[in-house]
Amino acid sequence: MRLSMPKFLKRPSSALVFILTLNGCGGSYEETVAGIKVPIPNAMKKAQGNSIEISLPGFGGGQASFQGKMDPDKVIDFYKKEMADRGWTPNLSLVSRGGMLAYTKEGKSVLVTVGKSEATTTLTITVGGGGK
């Protein structure tokens, strides 16, 4: 039995578009912020030294910052989809070339803040909820 390559992969330009489309989706990874797993777009990398965590009786929270070259609107779209897919309920949406999104789930809250400065997009994830 002989296997052959699909026709669209035989033409170099089509193969390149196919590969770039797969990579263009970007994907994501998870980052744990104050005990809560939050999806982060692959294009956004953790900013060094900008994470904090607080743990008080009855309250726990934290914040982490990320930077990257991803369009702010695409970051917002990413969170609208990913957080809903993970069972988070949207509570706030202030969007204009970046913005803020707030979500709750099981007594926990996540605030996603997206902005742009010069050529860099900034992403701040703030989490809060019941602590120790």
Convert the pLDDT of each residue in 35-61 to its tens digit.
Answer: 899 999 999 999 976 666 666 556 679
Q: Which domains does the chain have, with CATH numbers?
A: 29-129 (3.30.310)
Q: Tokens 């939050």: give the residue.
A: 38
pLDDT, tens digit (0-9, with 9 covering 90-100), for 71-108: 999 999 999 999 999 999 999 999 887 899 999 999 99
Question: Considering the entire predicted model, what is its pTM?
Answer: 0.74
- Whole-angstrom Cα distance, residue 132 to residue 129? 10
Torsion region of 26: left, alpha or beta (phi above 0 gives left; psi -120 to 50 gives alpha):
left
**Full DSSP string of 48-69:** TT--EEEEETTEEEEEEEEEES
Bridge partners of 115, per DSSP, are: 122
